[in-house]
Amino acid sequence: MTLSRSTTKVVVVGGAGTIGSSTALHLIRNGYTPSNITVLDVYPIPSAQSAGHDLNKIMSIRRSNKVGLQLSLEALNMWKHDPLFKPFFHEVGMIDCSSSKEGIIALQQKYKSLVEAGMGFEKTTFWLEGHDIQSRVPPFTKEQTEDWKGVLCSDGGWLAAAKAINAIGQFLKSEGVQLRFGGAGTFKQPLFAEDGVTCIGVETTDGTKYHADKVVLAAGAWSPTLIDLEDQCVSKAWVFAHIKLTPEEVKQYKNIPVVYDGEYGFFFEPDENGIIKVCDEFPGFSRFKAHKPFGATSPKLISVPRSHAKHPSDTYPDASEVTIRKAIARFLPAFKEKELFNRTMCWCTDTADASQLICEHPRWKNFILATGDSGHSFKLLPNIGKHVVELIQGSLSPEMAHEWRWRPGGDALKSKRAAAAKDLATLPGWQHDAKL
């Protein structure tokens, strides 16, 4: 039976995060009745434990496969032109740089593949020698960048992440979407019809039952802890810290491109409060423990996120302080002595092949997964929900359906990264309360 858009009831679990808020937005843009859409989340939108609850994220084109390329081009277009998203896109470009032999070879390949791909990349991609990098980032010194090479992609930049999710939230509220947070928004389990396989809604931890025609689970790093994903997703934390600049320092760094070096990390221009966020680059941290998600027959080892929102005194491992400081010494040596603050771990969930997991559950009809972000999905905030809605309506392209299918097997602990994630149990320094 085909359901009418105007009467279909949809519950979006994790609707105050990245993929979930985008889904709720596109349900409205597709003619679903706002009061028939229920957004559930632990925290109000923008959820304080969403991976997107952050000052900034990189907007860059992902070329790893056809679907990734299509999605990032679509997203770029919406960040540039969609009135809801445009205010949050800072199109300052991005420099991917390196001074190591292997890193420079990889950059040369990246540059070649971009200019040869056509599609306009040849007009927006530039090879940079050290002095060119210095001229694009004036506070860099000649000595600092002497042996660096880089690729500038001028049509990228950064996204004011939490602010963009907040803008979706304001829109959802103004349209009359049902928003439920706290215990009334925290997913406990799916509800099923008498046949035991047709999902008819969800129950939250306060005991409320929400009945719906379709349920979308977009709970990010928490998804594999909520329902059994058969090890297709492994949740991992990445880290960042901040430094504060004086107004004089801010002037020097204003409007510089995002600077990224795969062996060190990356940083962004200061925000309106003079704050620079610095990230290191590494394969992530896991947090394995025995846990029984809904649908599993017994507890199994699952990497369970622990959010900064619930544990505000958590920071990051001592090892991260060393690597963040190393990134600062590389990019911002004049600020080596500055105090670091808001040291944070931020949780994503990797699949083995780094593509998302967006499909109907193979055994639970009307229960849709929209997860497996693999650490690169914030940039898709404007458009990923459009494709989740296509899946709900049965009009998802065969390429996307194949790319995002249910696919147990493979190694999500390593995924496409340089190494498997290290477990937080082996890394001291991050936990400052006794709570589990």
Residues 220 and 164: their CA atoms lie apart, in Å, by 17
Residues 404 and 218: their CA atoms lie apart, in Å, by 14
17/130 with CB nearer ligand FAD: 17
Q: How far is the CB of 219 from ligand FAD (least distance, A)?
A: 4
Q: How far is the CB of 46 from ligand FAD (least distance, A)?
A: 8
Q: How far is the CB of 184 from ligand FAD (least distance, A)?
A: 10
Q: How far is the CB of 410 from ligand FAD (least distance, A)?
A: 19
Q: How far is the CB of 226 from ligand FAD (least distance, A)?
A: 6
Paired with 373 in beta bridges are: none
Question: Which residue, judged by CB position, is nearest to ligand FAD in the bound state?
Answer: 17
144/279 with CB nearer ligand FAD: 279
Q: 222-251: buried (b, 16+ CB within 10 Å) or exposed (e) per residue?
A: bbbbbbbbbbbbbbbbbbbbbbbbeeebbe
201/375 with CB nearer ligand FAD: 375
Residue listed under structure tokens 């210095």: 134
Q: How far is the CB of 232 from ligand FAD (least distance, A)?
A: 14
Residues 197 and 344: their CA atoms lie apart, in Å, by 40
Q: What would the two tokens of residue 298 be? A: 């017994």
Q: How far is the CB of 181 from ligand FAD (least distance, A)?
A: 9
134/287 with CB nearer ligand FAD: 287
Task: Kindly list the residues in this chain that would bind ligand FAD in the complex (CB under 6 A).
Answer: 13-14, 16-20, 40-43, 47, 49-52, 57-58, 185-187, 218-222, 226, 238, 240, 279, 346, 348, 371, 373, 375-379
89/378 with CB nearer ligand FAD: 378
CA angle 299-303-304, nearest 5°?
85
65/132 with CB nearer ligand FAD: 65
8/72 with CB nearer ligand FAD: 72
